[in-house]
Amino acid sequence: MRYLPGIALTVVVAAGLAWTSALTLPVDPDVATIRLSWRAPVVRVETCRTLSAAEQEEVAAHMRRSEECAGTSLDHEVHWTIDGAETVDTVAPSGARRDRPVYVLRDRSVAPGLRTVRVSFRPVWPDGQIPDSIDVPLVFEDTVRVGPHAIALITLDAARASLIRR
């Protein structure tokens, strides 16, 4: 009996701890997300020149090359428009030397329902000029239905040739 107050207090404190163990995180009921997520190979623009025989002979035999190239890895632009509201993001190649793939990961909160979505993904060419021999940018354009708390993921297809909604 002597310890009854202590036992009761222990149970109360334990119950308090249990309550703090499962606090409800408030969540907006009317929200959904459009998510862009893919990985693209890095695009590198290089200028190469052929080395002369004399230049090659200056270098040790195991290090000789026929060409010398200098260049840069290109940033990419993501233009995405949801119901007319446009956002432009620039994504750089990853890695300290910018030689790793380009990773796109963007989320935007939207109201649930039908959303008109347009996404284009293209490298940023020097001087804004796109060489004719390079493929057109990746584009996704569609009306997307997204339910409450759902995430509509736009990513590359299995062939990594076009953007699809998954």
Partner 1 sequence: MKGPGAEGLQRLGHAMFERVDVAANRAYTSRYNPLYHSGAIVVLSFVVLVLTGLYLLLFYRIGSPYASVERIVDQPWTGRWIRTLHRYVSDLAVAAALVHAFRMLVQDRAWGPRALAWLSGLVLLGIFLLCGWTGYVMVWDEQGQLLAMEGARLLDVLPLFSEPLVRAFVGEVEMPQAFFFMNLFAHIAIPVGVLLVLWVHVSRLARPTLMPPRKLSWGIVGAFVLLAVVWTAPLGAPADALRIPSDVRLDLWYNGWLPLTRGMPAPWVWAGILMTVSLAVAVPWWTRTRRDAAPPASWVNPRHCTGCEQCYLDCPYEAIRMVTRDDGRAGLVGFVDPLRCVSCGICAGSCAPMVVGPPGRTGRDQLREVRVFIEEEGVGRDDIVLIGCDRTAALSGPAEASTTPAFHGCSVIPVGCAGSLHTSVIEFLVRAGAGGVMVVSCPGRDCWNREGVRWLKARIEDEREAELKARVDRNRIRVVHVAAGETKGLREHIDRFRKDVRALDPASGEEDIDMDAVCDPPSAPFLQIVD
Q: In what order do the strands lie in the sheet with 113-123?
A: 85-91, 76-82, 113-123, 138-146
Q: What is the CA radius of gyration of the chain?
A: 28
Among 1, 18, 63, 85, binds partner 1 (CB under 8 A): 18
CA distance 46 to 166: 35
For position 20 contacting partner 1 by CB under 8 A, the verdict is yes
Binding mask 104-123 for partner 1 (x = CB under 8 A): -x------------------
**CA nearest neighbour of 90 among 103, 108, 109:** 103
Looking at 17-25, 50-58, 83-91, 124-132, which segment touches partner 1 (CB under 8 A)? 17-25
SS3 label, residue 117: strand
Classify each residue of 16-25 as buried b or exposed e, where b means 16 or more C-beta atoms within 10 Å of its C-beta. eeeeeeeeee
User: Residue 38 Cβ, how far from partner 1 at the closest point, in Å?
Assistant: 7
For position 165 contacting partner 1 by CB under 8 A, the verdict is no
Query: Which residues are near partner 1 by CB under 8 A?
Result: 2-3, 5-11, 14-15, 17-18, 20-27, 29, 31-33, 35, 37-39, 94-96, 100-101, 103, 105, 149-151, 153, 155, 166
